[in-house]
């Protein structure tokens, strides 16, 4: 076994990748990711104790968030980036250690290895990364391992959303506190199974807070998403394709391409940028090109111009277009040009991308038409009377939350067929790239309400929760589970994990998760989730429809 990773839905054989990641990451990268998480746990040992003495270290908070985000599936494939980050981690750890010791006065006793280990040479890094102390399998007990990893992956999702908010100037120190407390909990042998279950539920609480923070950051900066028709065709100008999730990068790219003759297109999870009022003022912002992340090889080749990856999901590229892909933020891939982080008070410099674009032919058109979206909570609540009337009259019998992630597996065709076969008196509520399985189907509308309501990116699943809570209030129900809403969610990576935990924290039951249940859930932990929340998987479309529709 050269590595072990089971954090994504496509993990090998549904149990774990041991030779090379299905995502494409090499074993040395996987092990360096584990080592970085190990160092983060050591830093958190000091930061949580320092916080008890009133010490809040912003350098620690930012380092932990960045490091966690780097290790999310399909974010960074560059071993050198992780080596640099581990070295940086040693410096951060020494800084917070010194602050703590100066305040406490006494040396720390019984420190775990992750708080003391340090090395200078890369072979020593590799040896440590391959040791039994580092990584998933460092925990022997299967149920504790399952809960520790569930907590870790939820924290990774929180970190991703928190970083986007931070880039827009929004922070919540309580979230940083929980993230670091949670990391320390994963090495605390005194915690029982019940303690870990409690922390996982608390993780859901902070998932809600993180998504709320990002929602506030996005809407106060760029306005509330509006119902919008999004062009999916092309023009004759050269173009830049921007993918990922980071709206600050989107803003700066649009501003720097103004009056250059270069058009800008969104891709994948950046599609919802088309719904924000602040971005509609740019006449060179054309629309969306392509589909979800896993079709990059085909679609990036045809785009012809440069591509900017702002976050996950990047996949190992073909040589035919690799030189046109640029990374930024936490994203990295060997051989690709990385756009450095912005300096305080300045924008990132995208001039290299723009100059390349000017020399490229226009994109090859791969489809025509329009998509409609922008149904975030503010917009849906504005239509509340219309929606409630449709529910009360029976025109809308049921809503189906089909948020989450897309992926490569053929079994994900299930979601397309499920959407096609839903009765015409049902409405799909969606967010995340899972929508690409059905958002281009002609499913019609109900009294002017489209049957697919797209709230936005995966983090905008928060909007779906707000909508559900508003419907509960307006309909005078005492329990969110009394609503005519069913949950049939697709997952792929760790941001979907925190969305699930957030829904559980809000009391939502009867969630069905697919196309497979997570490999990191042990049988006993799965049983707890089934007994407490009635979580289930998916099966045959016809049988599942009968089950959902009673």
Q: What is the CATH number of the domain that holds 76?
A: 1.20.1270.20
Residues 511 and 445 in one domain: yes
Residues 323 and 424 in one domain: no
Whether residue 364 contacts residue 304, with contact meaning beta carbons closer than 8 Å, is answered with yes
Q: Does the pLDDT at position 108 exceed 80?
A: no
Q: Does the pLDDT at position 295 exceed 90?
A: yes
Nearest to 436 by CA among 289, 275, 273, 538: 289
Distances from the Cα of 87 to the Cα of 70, 93, 94, 147, 451, angstroms: 15, 10, 11, 29, 51
Residue 222 is assigned to a structural domain of this protein: no
Residues 425 and 291 in one domain: no
Picking from 323, 358, 393, the residue at the C-terminal end of a domain is: 358
For 164-185, write each residue's pLDDT tens digit: 999 999 999 999 999 999 999 9
Tokens of 455: 């709230």
Confidence of residue 110 (pLDDT cuts 50, 70, 90): confident
Q: What's the pLDDT score for residue 107?
A: 76
Whether residue 510 contacts residue 486, with contact meaning beta carbons closer than 8 Å, is answered with yes
Whether residue 426 contacts residue 532, with contact meaning beta carbons closer than 8 Å, is answered with no
Consecutive H or E run containing 31: helix 27-52
DSSP 134-169: SSGGG--SHHHHHHHHHHHHHHHHHHHHHHHHHHTT
Report the C-alpha gap between 458 and 376 in whole angstroms: 12
Residues 347 and 410 in one domain: no
Residue 221 is assigned to a structural domain of this protein: no
DSSP 433: G
DSSP lists the bridge partners of residue 65 as none
Q: What's the pLDDT score for residue 397?
A: 96
**Mean pLDDT throughout 50-61?**
96
For 131-164, write each residue's pLDDT tens digit: 999 999 999 999 999 999 999 999 999 999 999 9
Report the C-alpha gap between 173 and 218 in whole angstroms: 18
For 455-473, write each residue's pLDDT tens digit: 999 989 999 999 999 999 9
Residues 351 and 388 in one domain: no
> How high does pLDDT run on average in the chain?
96
Residue 179 is assigned to a structural domain of this protein: no
Q: What's the pLDDT score for residue 135?
A: 96
Residues 384 and 522 in one domain: yes
Q: Does the pLDDT at position 294 exceed 80?
A: yes
Picking from 103, 138, 173, the residue at the C-terminal end of a domain is: 138
Give the range of the structural domain holding residue 274, as residue numbers without chain letter: 228-358
Cis peptide before 439 (omega within 30 of 0): no
Residue 209 is assigned to a structural domain of this protein: no
Q: Tally the C-alpha atoms within 13 A of residue 10's C-alpha that lie toward its C-beta.
A: 19
Question: Do the bridges between strand 445-446 and strand 449-450 make them parallel or antiparallel, or are there none, so unpaired?
Answer: antiparallel
Confidence of residue 109 (pLDDT cuts 50, 70, 90): confident
Q: What's the pLDDT score for residue 71?
A: 98
Confidence of residue 105 (pLDDT cuts 50, 70, 90): confident
DSSP 482-495: GSSEEEEEE--SHH
Report the C-alpha gap between 82 and 88 in whole angstroms: 10
Four-CA torsion 171, 275, 223, 243, nearest 10 degrees: 30
Residue 67 is assigned to a structural domain of this protein: yes
Q: What's the pLDDT score for residue 10?
A: 97
Residue 261 is assigned to a structural domain of this protein: yes
Report the C-alpha gap between 398 and 416 in whole angstroms: 18
Residue 213 is assigned to a structural domain of this protein: no
Q: What's the pLDDT score for residue 550?
A: 85
pTM across the whole model: 0.96
Whether residue 183 contacts residue 41, with contact meaning beta carbons closer than 8 Å, is answered with yes
Residue 16's CB: how many other CB atoms inside 10 A? 17
Alpha helices in 71-192 (DSSP H): 79-104, 122-129, 142-167, 173-185
Whether residue 77 contacts residue 332, with contact meaning beta carbons closer than 8 Å, is answered with yes
Residues 408 and 511 in one domain: yes
Confidence of residue 445 (pLDDT cuts 50, 70, 90): very high
Nearest to 455 by CA among 271, 306, 292, 331: 271
Residues 2 and 99 in one domain: yes
Q: Tally the C-alpha atoms within 13 A of residue 269's C-alpha that lie toward its C-beta.
A: 28
Distances from the Cα of 135 to the Cα of 41, 121, 129, 373, angstroms: 12, 20, 8, 40
Residues 396 and 535 in one domain: yes
φ, ψ for residue 440 (rounded to 5)?
Answer: -110, 10
Residue 438 is assigned to a structural domain of this protein: yes
Q: What percent of the chain has pLDDT over 70?
A: 100
Q: Across the chain, which distance is largest between two alpha carbons, in Å?
A: 70
**Mean pLDDT throughout 220-237?**
98
Residues 240 and 331 in one domain: yes
Domains identified in the chain, total number: 3
Tokens of 456: 């936005």
Q: Does the pLDDT at position 415 exceed 90?
A: yes
Which domain CATH number covers 526?
3.40.50.2030
Q: What's the pLDDT score for residue 106?
A: 77
Picking from 358, 393, 427, the residue at the C-terminal end of a domain is: 358
Report the C-alpha gap between 532 and 93 in whole angstroms: 39
Q: What's the pLDDT score for residue 59?
A: 97
Report the C-alpha gap between 128 and 276 in whole angstroms: 46
Residues 520 and 389 in one domain: yes
Residues 329 and 271 in one domain: yes
**Mean pLDDT throughout 391-413?**
96
DSSP 218-269: HHHHH-----EEEE-S--SS-EEEEESS-HHHHHHHHHHTTTTT-EEEE-GG
């Amino acid at each position: 076994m050269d590595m072990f990773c089971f954090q994504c839905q496509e993990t090998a054989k549904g149990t774990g990748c041991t030779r090379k990641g299905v995502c494409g990451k090499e074993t040395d990268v996987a092990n360096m990711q584990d080592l970085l998480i190990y160092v983060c746990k050591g830093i958190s040992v000091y930061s949580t104790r320092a916080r008890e003495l009133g010490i809040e270290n912003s350098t620690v908070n930012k380092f932990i968030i960045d490091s966690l985000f780097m290790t999310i599936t399909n974010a960074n494939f560059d071993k050198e980036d992780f080596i640099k980050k581990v070295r940086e981690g040693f410096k951060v750890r020494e800084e917070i250690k010194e602050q703590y010791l100066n305040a406490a006065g006494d040396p720390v006793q019984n420190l775990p290895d992750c708080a003391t280990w340090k090395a200078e040479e890369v072979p020593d890094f590799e040896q440590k990364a391959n040791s039994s102390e580092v990584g998933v399998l460092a925990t022997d007990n299967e149920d504790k391992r399952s809960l520790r990893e569930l907590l870790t992956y939820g924290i990774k999702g929180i970190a991703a959303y928190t970083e986007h908010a931070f880039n827009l100037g929004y922070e919540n120190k309580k979230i940083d506190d929980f993230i670091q407390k949670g990391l320390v909990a994963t090495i605390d042998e005194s915690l029982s199974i019940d303690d870990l279950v409690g922390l996982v539920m608390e993780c859901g609480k902070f998932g809600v807070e993180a998504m709320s923070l990002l929602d506030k950051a996005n809407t106060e900066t760029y306005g509330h998403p509006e119902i919008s028709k999004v062009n999916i065709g092309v023009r004759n100008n050269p173009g830049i394709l921007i993918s990922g999730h980071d709206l600050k990068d989107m803003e700066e790219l649009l501003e720097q391409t103004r009056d250059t003759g270069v058009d800008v297109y969104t891709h994948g999870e950046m599609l919802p940028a088309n719904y924000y009022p602040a971005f509609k003022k740019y006449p060179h912002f054309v629309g969306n090109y392509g589909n979800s992340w896993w079709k990059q090889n085909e679609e990036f080749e045809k785009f012809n111009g440069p591509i900017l990856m702002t976050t996950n999901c990047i996949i190992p590229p073909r040589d035919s277009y690799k030189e046109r892909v640029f990374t930024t933020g936490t994203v990295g891939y060997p051989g690709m040009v990385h756009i450095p982080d912005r300096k305080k008070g300045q924008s990132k410099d995208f001039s290299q991308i723009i100059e390349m674009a000017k020399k490229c032919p226009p994109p090859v058109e791969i489809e025509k038409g329009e998509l409609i979206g922008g149904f975030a909570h503010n917009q849906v609540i504005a239509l509340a009377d219309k929606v409630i009337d449709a529910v009360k009259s029976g025109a809308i019998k049921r809503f189906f939350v089909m948020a989450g992630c897309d992926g490569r597996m053929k079994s994900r065709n299930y979601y397309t067929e499920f959407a096609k076969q839903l009765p015409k008196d049902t409405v799909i509520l969606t967010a995340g790239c899972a929508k690409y399985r059905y958002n281009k189907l002609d499913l019609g509308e109900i009294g002017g309400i489209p049957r697919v309501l797209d709230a936005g990116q995966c983090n905008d699943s928060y909007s779906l929760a707000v909508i559900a809570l508003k419907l509960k209030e307006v309909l005078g129900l005492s329990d969110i589970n009394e609503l005519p809403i069913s949950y049939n969610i697709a997952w792929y990576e760790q941001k979907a994990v925190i969305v699930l935990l957030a829904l559980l924290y809000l009391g939502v039951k009867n969630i069905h998760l697919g196309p497979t249940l997570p490999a990191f859930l042990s049988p006993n932990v799965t049983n707890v989730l089934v007994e407490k929340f009635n979580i289930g998987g998916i099966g045959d479309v016809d049988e599942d429809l009968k089950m959902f529709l009673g």
